[in-house]
Structures are given as structure tokens and as C-alpha cells.
Amino acid sequence: MIEKALECFKEKFGDEGDIRCYFAPGRVNLIGEHTDYNGGHVFPCALSMGNYGVARKRDDRILRWFNMTWPDEGVQEISLDDLKPNDNGMWYDYQQGVIWAMLKAGIDIPGGYDMVMIADLPAGSGLSASASIEELAAVIVKDLYDLPISMIDCAKFGQVSENEYNGSNSGIMDQFASAMGKKDHAIFLDTADLSYEYVPLNLTNEKIVITNSKVKHNLTENSYNSYNQRRKESEEALADLQRIMDINSLGELDEEEFDKQCEYIKSDVCRKRAKHAVYENQRTIKAVKALQSGDLEAFGKLMNEAHISMSEDYGASCEEVDILAEEAWKLPGVIGSRITGGGFGGCTVSIVKNEYVDNFTSTLGSVYKERTGIDAEFYIADAGDGARRLK
């Protein structure tokens, strides 16, 4: 991939000067969905798939970008002085948003850059293509101009890009996983204070299989309003509980405390959203403990429960993704399977015993095609390192 990007860069921008190569991964979340903006825990890992970039400093304030995935859009050009928030949801808006967030925070970015990017991560699949683009921009600017910021700062700027520049009220999980990933590990992140722990994925006899429903997950179009609505409903539930409890987030509650006080949430819909946030957070804590103790069966059971909650309580799945999860549960060798990502389409993540992987992909693909008319795509997930310059 990077060789193709280098060749394209030289065609578009010339081969003189200090040309550098970068990569930022997508992510798959094993469990802990819609808990990040509710002050709970998440458990993602960075992928070996993502966005590659080739970049070089400029001696003026112009940014020029070309995306090989959408070549018909041509070279995008803008000045550092002309960045303005919008809700277009174009790939370059996510890059612009990161740089805008840095400038807004008082970071001195003395010049622009030329960049070509290429991806092996499917857009709209719920594997955080937008966060990958954001963290690619962050690591490029950080490295080219030797900025005094950490990779956690890069994740924060990515979230600001998502929230304030591009209009999606998402949490920080996607950007954090892309920026902070570690090979063969998942990240147990407490989004309330950004404390985290790398947990080894000791899956010697199993594979993590991602199944793409091919139903587009797009938080800036139809499901944009649905995603932001879920956050609004969660915030309304929290506000109701705060009238009788001293809490800052739903993530502070366990199941017993929630069940005692949930009657104070006025709206039935908001109560269901809050139930998911609370129960999903506790599922995530239990799942990580199960994985650390080697109880993969318990981990898988919690994954299945998480999918049901995402579908029934949070209303963030869809018919096609429900079919993928429910049909996966019927197959031999499947430890667990659930929707992953923000929802409203996208992918499922499954843990499957090695000897059953081929049967899993062929059988599930056939059943899914029969029931929906759609050809699913399957990827074997490798947990990789976070955003970085490629040597």
C-alpha cells in the first residue's frame, strides 16, 4: 500500500525534499459500545488495517491532500487560515478538523504539507475509518513539525474534530484506540479519566473474525441524527437521576444501583438507553476479567448479551446486522458474536475457534446472502500498533 502511495505522491507533488510515510489503524471494539460518552469502560484493539499517508512539509500555509480511494475528487487544497467547522462528512474534513482543533488549542503549526493517502480499511463499516483519518493527520503534523504533544493529545484532538468540526457527538474510544494501539493487545480504557491498561489477546486457538454487513454505517448522514439522538437520550436519563443521586455519569452506577433508581427516569425510551449504558459498562468490566482469567466462554456469553442490549435497549443495530449475529450464534466453534462500532449498520465481531473459521465464513456468508441478498465480507482481525511514522 505505501509503495503505491509513494508513487502517487511523486506523480502529484514531485519527488524532491524530505518525504515521510505514516500509518493510522482502524479499530474493532470487542465489547463496550456507547459507553465512552457515558463515562464507562471500553475494550477496543487497533487493527492492522487502516489509512496510509505520504507527506512532506510546505514552506507556506497551504494544505494539499489527495486520496487514492476517491481519485475523482482530485487534490483538495485549503489554507491553515481558512479552516471552518462543517457537517459535510468528507474524508478531508476529518483531517481539517484535527488541525483546526490543534490551532484552536494554541498549538503553533508553522506551515502546511502535501499528502497522499490510501486505505485498506472499508469506509462506513463501523471500523473507525474517520478516526483513522483523524489520527493519520495528527501524527503527520506532530512528526513533520515536531510538535510537543502526546499521542493521547492526538486522540483528544481527533475527538474534537469529530464533535466540533464534523458534528458527530461521539466519545473518545475510536481515536484513543487508533492513536494508542499495541500489537497483540486490546485496550481496557476507563473513559471517565482516560486511565487504561493493555490486555494481551491470548487467543492461541481462536481468531477474531469481523463480518461486514455492507450496510453503510455513516454517522454524518442518516444515522448521524440517530447517533446524536442516542447520546441526547442518555444525557436526559442522567439528568433525571442527578435530581436524586450525586453522580457525574451513568458509568458510575452498577446494575443494582440502577435498578433501584431507574423509575426516576421519566421517559421509557431514555430508561432503556440508560440501562444499556450501565449494564454494558459492567459487562465490559466482567468481560476483561474473564479474558484475563482465561475464561473465554464467559467472555463470549457477555459479547452475545451485549449485542442483544445494543439491539433491544439502545436501538442501535439493524435487521441485517442482527441476522449476522443471530446466525453466528448457531454455528459450531463460535465463542461469541456481536455488533461492533457505533451501530446502524457496519460490522459484527466474532471469536471463532481456529478449526471452524472456514465453515463460519462460508456458512454465515451463504445464509446472509439468502436472507438479505447481500454478499458479506470477512476479515481476520490482527491487533496492531497505533498511529505512527513508518521507518
Q: Which of 174, 190, 240, 313 is catalytic?
A: 174
- Whether residue 174 lies in the annotated active site: yes
| 3-class SS letters over the chain | CHHHHHHHHHHHHCCCCCCEEEEEEEEEECCCCCCHHHCCEECEEEEEEEEEEEEEECCCCEEEEEECCCHHHCCEEEEHHHCCCCCCCCHHHHHHHHHHHHHHCCCCCCCCEEEEEEECCCCCCCCCHHHHHHHHHHHHHHHHCCCCCCHHHHHHHHHHHHHHHCCCCCCCHHHHHHHHCCCCEEEEEECCCCEEEEEECCCCCEEEEEEECCCCCCCCCHHHHHHHHHHHHHHHHHHHHHCCCCCCCHHHCCHHHHHHHHHHCCCHHHHHHHHHHHHHHHHHHHHHHHHHCCCHHHHHHHHHHHHHHHHHCCCCCCHHHHHHHHHHHCCCCEEEEEEECCCCCCEEEEEEEHHHHHHHHHHHHHHHHHHHCCCCEEEEECECCCCEEEC
Q: Which amino acids are annotated catalytic?
A: 174
